Amino acid sequence: MISFNPKDLSTGRLHGYLLSAVAPRPIAFASTIDKDGNPNLSPFSFFNVFSANPPILIFSPARRVRDNTTKHTLDNVEEVNEVVINVVNYDIVHQMSLSSTEYPQGVNEFEKAGLTMLASDKIKPFRVAESPIQMECKVNEIVKLGTEGGAGNLVICEVVKLHISEDVINEDNTINQEALDLVARAGGSYYSRAKNGFFEIPKPLQTMGIGVDNLPEHVRNSMILTGNNLGMLANVDKLPTKDEVKQFVDDISERYPNLKTATHREKHKLARNYLSYGDVESAWKLLLS
């Protein structure tokens, strides 16, 4: 392993390492307006949600590394304390990338990127009509983290109105993550398409998991099952009964005729296969057979 003292690296090299290491990152497609009413649109991947009550988002337009200048977005939110945070889905990712071009002050990135300006309800900056979720925000505070190139500026925003496209809403009014099809930023020129990378993990708070420490010794010390496998197995509140295990073995006896005489190692391989499909219950019945 190669180790570095951040102070021994150039800002550009450190910036690259950090962006590649902390990824993927959500993208804030920030729409602002200057004191003269000129709109601006720019993406920022130093971004996340930090509170629901009050609803707070924070993004950070960092000072440019190469010449220590500030971005128009930061200048604008200092002049007009309002911003729309639009999310970026796959359908507009190339237009979003184009808008990051450093056009001169006063140039309308909406027009350059071919995106539609949509009037906001409570604030002056425009929304991106093509974005499936748009959040109108008041800027509560700007925290400057430094004065040199690469220094961030935390723009702390409070959501005052939330707009969600009906195309990404389920019948129960939750957001359909696959329909939303968000993209995220990584290092260099890399992006991540969330639609292709989502998987579900049951929240531990939904059940009182028995914990890895309560797994049978042959499972806990398995040379086949991974740490993720053990975590899945441990996130159950009770184990199958002997009758349930027997019924399971009888049901799959034709497919696995040698199961009753199989070694722990062989059973663990089969159980790992069930776990790869998220079938924790069957995996447990195999392991306890």
DSSP 227-277: HHHHHHHHS-SSPPPHHHHHHHHHHTTTT-TTGGG--HHHHHHHHHHHHHT
Give the tens place of pLDDT for each residue, 30-66: 999 999 999 999 999 999 999 999 999 999 998 888 8
Neighbours of 125 (CB within 10 A): 24
Written as six digits, the tokens of 54 are 């009050």
Which positions ≥6 away from 127 have C-beta within 8 Å?
31, 84, 86, 117, 118, 119, 120, 134, 136, 163
- Among 19, 15, 11, which residue's Cα sits nearest to residue 192? 19
Flag whether pLDDT at 199 surpasses 70.
Answer: no
pLDDT at residue 163 in the model = 98
Helix, strand or coil, per DSSP, at residue 118: strand
CA–CA dist 149, 24 (Å, integer): 23
pLDDT at residue 125 in the model = 98
**Domain 6-196 class in CATH:** mainly beta
pTM of the entire predicted model: 0.79
Give the tens place of pLDDT for each residue, 157-177: 999 999 999 999 999 999 999
Flag whether pLDDT at 105 surpasses 70.
Answer: yes
- 111, 101 Cβ separation under 8 angstroms: no
Where in the chain are the domains? 6-196, 204-287
Ranges of beta strands (E only) in 96-166 are 117-118, 127-128, 133-144, 153-164
pLDDT at residue 206 in the model = 54
The distance from CA 154 to its chain's CA centroid, rounded to whole angstroms, is 19
